[in-house]
Amino acid sequence: MEAQKVFKGNLPQEPIATRKASGIVIAKLGPVLPQLMTGSADLMDSTFVAWSKAPSMTFQSPNLSGSGKGGSFAGRQIRYGIREHAMVAIANGLAAYHPNAILPVVSTFFMFFLYAAPAVRMAALQRLRVLYIATHDGIGIGEDGPTHQPIALASFFRAMPGINFLRPADAEEVMGAWTIALQANVPSMLSLSRQALPLLDGTSREGVARGGYPIFQSKAALNGVPDLVFISTGFEVHLAIEVASLLTSDACGTRVVSMPCQALFDQHSAEYKEEVLPTAGALIVAVEAWSSFGWARYAHASVSMHSFGLSAPADLLYKHFGFEPENIAIRVRKFQQRHTKNSVVMVPAVGKFEELLL
């Protein structure tokens, strides 16, 4: 698989949006994988699913050549127009035609996959190998505002049976997400950022295959159960690492777990899940700028959104909604103090999940 040939050391070392990292895979696959057919709902240039600008690669009538919009019926890049439901329904038909004959990849902003949800559900029901590239996946989309900012949508797709919903934290995890999507016998949705993310030291595509795995651990936590565990996804993972670093001390061990795919993590043994997320002696906090719905299965508290977003630059929005590392660290420290007695962690009971930004 071409994504496997792009080793971590060869990935861009500067911060890069995960939608652009996904485009690196498309650029590698397009010329060598004839089954690949990509397309977008009028957002081809924003979702990075086109690997060639040659007119012959655009799937449309060659009779349009006089208009300067000529294409070819052998083209493998489809401009669907603003028709999200039709786009995904067509992709279902392409995938169902014959196993492995066509690998459809369709794309739009994450929020707009809501319009296509019935067709996505049918793909999951039929176990069709379709890849959904869902970009601009958070409040970091910025000035487009709350109409474009998904807050609760991930909860819906995570709850849907028969689909892998993956939110990678950097370019390395994007390579892992693509590897899973290409090998799976079910549809996969990649939730990707508009804004640039740093390439993190602890990420690995092998870790992505496990669904959730530690990517940061302080020295104080290396020889035992950490006092604080942060779970995060996508853009917020590097924020969680900053928070963990702020809270790390000789007396407080911290760990950060990247969980790009809950469904894959849930398939592991109880022993592995306990190793990653200790149920005794550690307080677990989810950090994600979406709704917290679903995180109570894994964590005792969350740093999450509780309203629709706003129209403003991404940095201002993260600050406005409380996602600055310093602010999160203060709130997590208070949460830890409330649940520590005589240096012993008092793990909250079921139903005592706390929202730390309320």
Task: For 169-218, give the DSSP string.
Answer: SSHHHHHHHHHHHHH-SS-EEEE--SSEEPPPTT--HHHHHTS-EEEEE-
| pLDDT tens per residue, range 270-328 | 999 999 999 888 999 999 999 999 999 999 999 999 999 999 999 999 999 999 999 99
144 with 290, same domain: the answer is no
| pLDDT of res. 68 | 59
pTM equals: 0.94
Of all helices (H) and strands (E), which one includes residue 164? Answer: strand 164-166
Residue 98 lies in a domain: yes
135 with 243, same domain: the answer is no
| pLDDT value at 269 more than 90 | yes
Catalytic residue among 2, 14, 84, 288: 84
CA geometry: angle 99, 102, 103, nearest 5 deg: 100
Residue 1 lies in a domain: no
On whether the CB atoms of residues 107 and 273 are closer than 8 A, the answer is no
Last residue of a domain, one of 169, 197, 225: 197
236 with 151, same domain: the answer is no
Q: Which amino acid is at 126?
A: Q
What average pLDDT is seen over the chain? Answer: 93
Which are the contacts of 181, defined by CB distance < 8 A and separation ≥ 6?
131, 164, 166, 188, 190
26 with 168, same domain: the answer is yes
Residue 154 lies in a domain: yes
Residue 310 lies in a domain: yes
259 with 184, same domain: the answer is no
| pLDDT value at 91 more than 80 | yes
| pLDDT tens per residue, range 38-68 | 999 999 999 999 998 888 888 988 886 555 5
| pLDDT tens per residue, range 326-339 | 999 999 999 999 99
Q: How many domains does the chain have?
A: 2
Structural domain that includes position 226: 209-355
| pLDDT value at 137 more than 90 | yes
The CATH number covering residue 117 comes to: 3.40.50.970
161 with 224, same domain: the answer is no
- Residue 122 DSSP symbol: H
Q: Is the dihedral of CA 128, 34, 105, 200 positive or negative?
A: positive
CB atoms within 10 A of CB 179: 19
183 with 226, same domain: the answer is no
Residue 157 lies in a domain: yes
The Cα 300–Cα 347 span in angstroms is 8
Q: Which of 59-63, 99-103, 130-134, 252-256 has the highest mean pLDDT?
A: 130-134
The Cα 300–Cα 214 span in angstroms is 18
Q: Which of 216-220, 224-228, 331-335 has the highest mean pLDDT?
A: 331-335
Residue 2 lies in a domain: no
Residue 302 lies in a domain: yes
137 with 97, same domain: the answer is yes
The CATH number covering residue 236 comes to: 3.40.50.920
Active-site residue flag, 236? no
| pLDDT tens per residue, range 149-197 | 999 999 999 999 999 999 999 999 999 999 999 999 999 999 999 999 9
47 with 165, same domain: the answer is yes
127 with 38, same domain: the answer is yes
Residue 234 lies in a domain: yes
CB-side exposure of 64: number of CA atoms within 13 Å?
A: 12
Cα separations (Å) of 315 from 196, 304, 319? 12, 16, 6
Last residue of a domain, one of 176, 197, 218: 197
105 with 221, same domain: the answer is no
188 with 283, same domain: the answer is no
On whether the CB atoms of residues 327 and 343 are closer than 8 A, the answer is no
Last residue of a domain, one of 152, 168, 197: 197
Which are the contacts of 9, defined by CB distance < 8 A and separation ≥ 6?
none
